[in-house]
Amino acid sequence: MYNRLREVRTDKGISLAKLSDELKKKENLNISADALAKYEREVREPKLSTWNALAHYFQVSITYIQGLSNVRQPENVNLSQLSTRELENIQQERLYAQCKQLRKLFLTTNESDLPDKEFQQIDEEFKKIERSIINNDRTDSSSVETMLFILNGVFIAFVSSRHCNRNAGNITEKLLDDVLELYNDDGSLKK
């Protein structure tokens, strides 16, 4: 499984140099055409923030552009026709659904090498996140959304690694490291 950066770029009909210029203007991302070429050839791995900017620019999901999912854009909502309140409700519902789905996928039964106590602590953290979303706690909503997005990528990469994809294990480790960067030393989410 390979990333789809070249595919989405050629679909849009732009060169690496043009993409570099467009990313500077539209995504405030200063990246050279040479670096983009290395990402396409998978010589180098972009940071999560770079994947995010690329996905936003091409209007696809991060997991799609990384080659981990076949779903280009999971949400086909016309955002210009929705009010701010409706957008907040949609975001809250989506975050809650993602959190529940990930908790169900990862934490239904302890089939890992984790001790039961640690497994329960992880389950409790997911429950706290769900409560935070239900209570519409906006103080850490972007961190929660980022964490859920990364964990979704971790799950997809984990499944891919179980199907003998040699790159998926490395991607899983990198995504988990990105999740850890969202937390303060005391275990609370960074704001």
Q: What is the CATH number of the domain that holds 33?
A: 1.10.260.40
Q: Check whether residue 90 and residue 170 sit in a common domain.
A: yes
108 and 169 inside one domain: yes
User: Residues 35, 103: one domain?
Assistant: no
Q: Which of 23, 39, 65 is the last residue of a domain?
A: 65
Q: Contact, 67 vs 4, CB < 8 A? A: yes
pLDDT surpasses 60 at 184? yes
Last residue of a domain, one of 37, 65, 93: 65
What residue type is 173 in one-letter code?
A: E
Count of domains forming the chain: 2
Name the burial class of residue 30, with classes exposed (0-12), middle (13-18) and buried (19+) by CB atoms within 10 angstroms of its CB.
exposed
Residue 172 has pLDDT above 80, yes or no: no
Tell me, yes or no, whether 75 lies in a domain.
Answer: no
Q: Where are the alpha helices (DSSP H) in 135-186?
A: 141-162, 166-180
| Domain presence at residue 46 | yes
- Domain boundary residue among 41, 65, 89? 65
- The overall longest dimension of the chain from CA atoms, in Å, is 53
If asked whether residues 166 and 85 sit together in one domain, one would say yes
Q: How far apart are CA 54 and CA 28, in angstroms?
A: 11
DSSP helix/strand/coil, 17? helix
Distance of CA 18 to the CA centre of its chain: 25
Q: Which of 29-33, 80-84, 177-181 has the highest mean pLDDT?
A: 29-33
Q: What is the mean pLDDT of residues 168-190?
A: 63
| pLDDT value, residue 142 | 59
Per residue in 87-142, pLDDT (tens digit) is 566 666 776 677 677 666 666 665 555 567 766 776 777 677 777 766 665 545 55
Instruction: Give the domain extent around 41.
Output: 5-65
Q: What are phi and psi of 189, to 5 degrees?
A: -70, 140
pTM of the shown model: 0.43
Domain assignment of residue 31, yes or no: yes
Q: Where are any strands of DSSP class E within the chain?
A: none
